[in-house]
Amino acid sequence: MQTTASPRLSVLIALSALAILPLNMFVPSLPNIARDLGADFALVNLAVAGYAIATAVAHLVAGAMSDRFGRKPVALAALAIYTLASIGCSLATDIATFLVCRMFQATVIAGYAVSLAAIRDTSDEGGAASRIGYVSSAWAVAPMIGPTVGGLLDSAFGWRANFVAFAVLGLAGLWLVAFHLKETNHHRTASFALQLKGYGELGRSPPFWAYALCMAFGIGTLYAFLGGAPLVAAQLGGLSSTALGAYMGMVPAGFMLGSYIVGHTSSRHAPTRLILIGRLLTAVGLLVGLVLLASGLTHPLAFFGPCVFVGLGNGLTMPAANARILSLRPHLAGTASGLAAAVTVIGAGIVAFLAGLVVNASNAHVAVLAVMWASSLLSLLVALFIVHTERERKV
């Protein structure tokens, strides 16, 4: 049951969107940044790859600190650092300064960890899954529109305009948290020693690792798609950037649909059921893609159509799995949220790295589908383990 202190859902959705938007909004500006700062493109690309690693660390720190000091103070501190770092990026005249400030931008990810923890503070498990479903939709919409907005800003005002926009959004986030986010953590841990003990508790919990790995392999499937889809498009004869964007946008649209379904049905269905359905849909959808490929169909929809089930499956899985993780140790909701997010990012990154070792321009269609299907099968196997252990526990 939600309490009267439950923060407004719109505030949590806004914080989550702001947390993910800096990941890729400025990506169209990478060549211009490299040219303006006189750096190799590979070095500038650390602004994306290094940022992903920095967010994993930020998840760990922010989640634990929100259990110790409260959700609101941590969100305010993270947004303040993010805003200053964004200003630093916009003023940078050398690549070292730019990259250091870029890494500090990762603190904004605390907005997502705090949002999940605040939901668990004020909701039972069914209500948490529903609200997380809506909040998670921001993670589909923001990356979908971010690069388009970033490209427009770069074309009109130059690459620094993206980071000015980030700073303005950071100030808006500070105002939103300061005046519209209620503090929900009224049972804070007494010391950091207890926080370390909390990590130990979670680290020794098989259910925690099961849910976290299920999410990691699920998001790994998505990462493999994001990295390989442009190569597949080129192998299929080339698509215009507009067409490729439209096809790739079908996957986050599927995620939004899955999250919406969780938001409307979680009170009637157990989280484990939603997780299992999500993993089955993804595995079966990608298997259909492999069958279509084996049948000789090479139309772009034969690849991108089945990939919609990656988004749909993750949209069903992520909110439900996060709700279960936050319920394992309710007094450590922030710590659990941060640790689970870090495991998910690192695990998905490993999948993407392995995909990069086997996918090339000549085998992209089959290799990308094969890697995605393999990752989805691993996620399905973990989901089956979760269902089995939940049934055993109830017997």
pLDDT digits (tens, 9 = 90+) for 344-359: 888 888 888 888 888 8
**Any idea which of 169-173, 226-230, 250-254, 382-386 has the lowest mean pLDDT?**
226-230
Q: Which two tokens stand for residue 199?
A: 């990590």
Percent of the chain with pLDDT over 90: 35
How far from the centroid of its chain's Cα atoms is residue 321's Cα? 13
d(CA 355, CA 343): 18
Average pLDDT, the chain: 85
Tell me the longest C-alpha to C-alpha distance in the chain.
65
Q: What is the dihedral of CA 253, 254, 256, 257, to 10 degrees?
A: 120
| Through-space distance between the first and last CA atoms of the chain, rounded to whole angstroms | 26
Percent of the chain with pLDDT over 70: 93
Does the pLDDT at position 195 exceed 60?
yes
Do 26 and 44 touch, CB atoms closer than 8 A? no
What is the dotted CATH code of the domain comprising 9-183?
A: 1.20.1250.20
**Any idea which of 67-81, 127-141, 143-157, 251-265 has the lowest mean pLDDT?**
127-141
d(CA 90, CA 339): 31
**Any idea which of 25-34, 185-194, 275-284 has the lowest mean pLDDT?**
185-194
Query: Which residue from 369, 249, 254 is spatially nearest to 311, judged by alpha carbons?
Result: 254
pLDDT of 333 reads: 76
pLDDT of 395 reads: 53
Split at pLDDT 50, 70, 90, the class of 3 is very low
- Amino acid letter, 307: C
Does the pLDDT at position 125 exceed 70?
no
**Could you tell me where in the chain the CATH 1.20.1250.20 domains are found?**
9-183, 204-394
What is the dotted CATH code of the domain comprising 204-394?
A: 1.20.1250.20
Does the pLDDT at position 219 exceed 60?
yes
pLDDT of 209 reads: 94
Most confident of 95-104, 188-197, 383-392: 95-104
d(CA 204, CA 97): 40
pLDDT in tens, 323-351: 888 888 777 777 888 888 889 888 888 88
Q: Which two tokens stand for residue 258?
A: 């899955």
